[in-house]
Each structure stands twice: as C-alpha cells, then as structure tokens.
Amino acid sequence: MTQAARIPLSAPDMGAAERARLLRTFDDGWVSSAGPVVEAFERAFAEATGFAHATAMSSGTAALQVALTMLDLRPGDAVICPTLTFIGGVSPVVHAGARPIFVDCAASDWNLNPVLLEQAFDRAGAEGLTVRAVVPADLYGQCCDIAAIRAVADAHGVPVILDSAEAVGATFNGRHAGHGAQAAAFSFNGNKIITTGGGGMLASDDADLIARARNLAAAARLPAVHYEHAEVGFNYRMLSLAAAVGLAQLETLEARVARRRAIFARYQDRLGSHDGVAFAPEAPGRRHTRWLTVMLLDPEITTVSPEHLRLALEAADIEARPVWKPMHLQPVFRDALMINDRVAEVLFATGLCLPSGSGLTDADIDRVCDVMEATLRP
C-alpha cells in the first residue's frame, strides 16, 4: 500500500502559469530587480487591491521596516503593536530603535483591541515615552477594525502603518485589507495565499511616501551616473524572477481565497458539532480569507488539548501548529509594556492552526478531520 503524502500546513500552490511566466522572464534576461517585470507586478497589485501606488520588496517585514524608517524613530520613542502576531510585525520597531508597547486583541476579530488603545497611549506617557506610530495587524486573513484604531491614533496625531502580511485578499466593507492606514505592508512568503517564494509589498495612496520607500529599498541612491547617497538605505528590492511568479499568482487570487474559505467551511461542517470545538470568528462587514483555519478547544468541555491534537495529527503525517504565541510572553519581550485583557493568552492556550493550503483536496481535508474526530471522540 502506498503511504499517503504528508499534508502541510500551507504549501505554495503553483502550476503551469507560474512556470511559464518564470521561464519567460528568465529567457528575457530579467533576473535582478531591474526591468519591467517588477514594475508590472507593482501595478497589477495596486490595481487588484485598489491602492494608488505600491512598491515591491524582498519581504513583508522589509516593507514594514522601510515604512517605519521614514518616521525617523529614535530612542525614547514607542510604537504600539498587537501582542497576537508574528514577530516580523514587531522586529522592525526594535531595529528602528523604538520600544514596542503591546496591546491585547479583541475577542470579536482577534486583532488589536481599539478599546484598549487609549490605555496604551496613557501608559507610554506615564513611562516618559513618545508614541510615534500604531502598527496593528490583520491576523490570519481578517482585517482589523482600522477605522476605530485610526480614530484613536488620529486624536494623538500619530500615523497608522498596517501589517497586512497575512491578509492579501481580505476585505472590510468591500475595501481590500490595508485601506484606511497611511501605508500597509503585505507578505508573499511561501505559505501565504499568493506567493513570490519570498517577497512583500508596501502600498499606499500617498505617491510621495511610496516614491521615498522605493528609493530607500534600493539603497537610497540619488539620480546620478555615479553612486550618490544622502542617506543610508536598504537592499530590499524584489527580484524580477519573484515578481514573475507573483504576476501569475495574482491572476487567481479570488479563486485562492474562495478555496481557503471552502476548506474552512468543510472543517466547520465536519468538526463544528463536537463539544468544546469552535473556530475563529468572522467579524461583521469582513471577508476573512481563512489564510489559516484556526480552531479552539474549550478546556472546560473537552479533555483534548491543542498539543494532544497536534501530536495526533503529526503521527498521521499532518502538519498543524499552535496559534501565534503572544509577543508579551516571548522571552525577548519579557520586559515590554503590555495592556493586557488576557484574550491573546487564552487563544494561544486553546487554539490550533489546521492545514489550509488552497491546493489541498476535499479528500485531504477529510483525512485531517478523520484523525481529529478519532482524537476528539470520548
């Protein structure tokens, strides 16, 4: 009997279209960040997401770092961040010389809780820190409440730079993720809904902001025949080969979102009736891409823990992983300021991310569910 193939958490979904664009770009000699392919991907992404401007970079973290660099952060400055996120949304704050202040998430959408945001500003003031920016995230493919967050930030005169790394294809009241912030960073890592192998994008309706970001990402070179620099930049431009893959992926974005949502629905249908099982909510007005399907296990109802379930899946050669460990629980941030409502801590303790790649078949999802049902059964 042939052994069933491993089911990964979120594998790249690639095919003939990506291969054809990649080979065409290779044959045309466009392998670096120069040339028309990167520019074409930037235009296509801006058009698909409704932004006026976008600039491609080597990662979503790089895009966020460039955006924060333009704020000229200094020691004594603070940046407010969600605690429930990937460290790539926080490390640029530290690299820029500022201190992160973490804010708990709202149970309604798992994103930065706008109700707690004012407390973060108060805490910064009490510590003698100046808040220079708010950097919320769109977690697991669901938009944060950007209007409520922006209202608080605007009242304090600070910009909002949105970490939309996980939310390509997500919408809030019909607008694509990232709108409502001064700028938004997106990721095309190999496990995202669309991928360039590695890469990111900074998008905004502010032409000057994107022009400066593009220059900073290209070593901040001034227009001269020789290499002239008035400031220190980065080497963060996306390569043409990566952009070629992105162009092909972008053409099927809506289908990829639809497939991930269908996968979520299948999990919900198979597992939702089990006692103690729940799934990540979809807040009103939002289209959650279900980049990852995340389930919760209520410890007061079921004796099966997320780790018990993860190990059962791993024994069946199926990859699953815990919910993001909150930043304020990470050893590197043990001394960071935190506005805590204990929501993120509960989600970390009770949540598990299930295989969600758009290339998975219904039979793959049923195989996952069979293992889970056998483990959950009393």
Query: Residue 39 class from Cβ within 10 Å (0-12 exposed, 13-18 middle, 19+ buried)?
Result: middle
Are residues 75 and 149 both part of a single domain?
yes
Can you tell me the distance from the alpha carbon of 304 to that of 266, in angstroms, rounded to the nearest whole number?
21
Answer whether residue 3 is part of any domain: no
The answer to whether position 257 is within a domain reads yes
Average pLDDT over residues 120-147: 97
Q: In sequence order, what are the beta bridge partners of 160?
A: 134
Helix (H, G, I), strand (E, B) or coil at 179: coil
Collapsing DSSP to helix, strand or coil, 328 comes out as helix
Give CA–CA dist 55/201, Å, rounded: 6
How far is the CA of 40 from the CAs of 48, 141, 246, 265, 374, in angstroms?
Answer: 12, 25, 10, 35, 49
Rounded mean pLDDT, 200-211? 98
Do 89 and 190 sit in the same domain of this protein? Answer: yes
Which domain-ending residue is among 214, 229, 250? 250
pLDDT digits (tens, 9 = 90+) for 173-190: 999 999 999 999 999 999
Cβ proximity of 45 and 169 under 8 Å: no
- 14, 292, 358 from 8: Cα distances, Å: 14, 12, 11
1 within domain boundaries: no
Per residue in 296-317, pLDDT (tens digit) is: 999 999 999 999 999 999 999 9
Instruction: Look at residue 128 in the predicted model and tell me its pLDDT.
Output: 95
Mean per-residue pLDDT of the chain: 96
pLDDT band for position 2 (cuts 50, 70, 90): low
Which H/E stretch holds residue 352? strand 351-354
What pLDDT is recorded for position 76? 87
Lowest mean pLDDT among 1-10, 13-22, 205-214: 1-10
* Residue 9 included in any domain: no
Instruction: Please tell me the least confidently modeled range out of 221-225, 246-250, 273-277, 329-333.
Output: 221-225
User: What confidence tens digit (pLDDT) does each residue in 11-47 have?
Assistant: 999 999 999 999 999 999 998 888 899 999 999 999 9
The rounded distance, in Å, linking the Cα atoms of 147 and 285 is 12
Q: Are residues 148 and 191 in the same domain?
A: yes
Residue 4 is assigned to a structural domain of this protein: no
Are 214 and 263 in the same domain?
Answer: no
CA atoms within 13 A on the CB side of 296: 19
Q: Which of 224, 250, 276 is the last residue of a domain?
A: 250
Domains contained in the chain, number: 2
> Residue 302's domain is classified under what CATH number?
3.90.1150.10
Is the residue at 11 inside a domain?
no
Given a cut of 80, whether residue 3 has pLDDT beyond it is no
For 102, the domain range is 16-250
DSSP assignment letter at 215? H
Residues 212, 281, single domain; the answer is no
- The verdict on 206 and 149 lying in the same domain is yes
Check pLDDT > 70 for residue 1: no
Q: What percent of the chain has pLDDT over 90?
A: 92
> Domain end: 225, 250, 275, which one?
250
Tokens of 363: 């039979």
pTM for this structure? Answer: 0.96
Is 358 contained in some domain? yes
* Four-residue CA torsion sign, 186, 188, 189, 191: positive
- 124 domain-assigned: yes
Q: Which of 179, 136, 134, 127 is nearest to 159 (CA)?
A: 134
Mean pLDDT across 270-282: 96
Same domain, 324 and 223: no
- Parallel, antiparallel or unpaired: strands 53-57 and 200-204: antiparallel
User: What confidence tier does 75 reach under pLDDT thresholds 50, 70, 90?
Assistant: confident
How confident is the model over 135-149, as a mean pLDDT? 98
Same domain, yes or no: 178 and 277: no
207 and 264 together in one domain: no
Based on the fold, state whether residues 32 and 161 are members of the same structural domain: yes
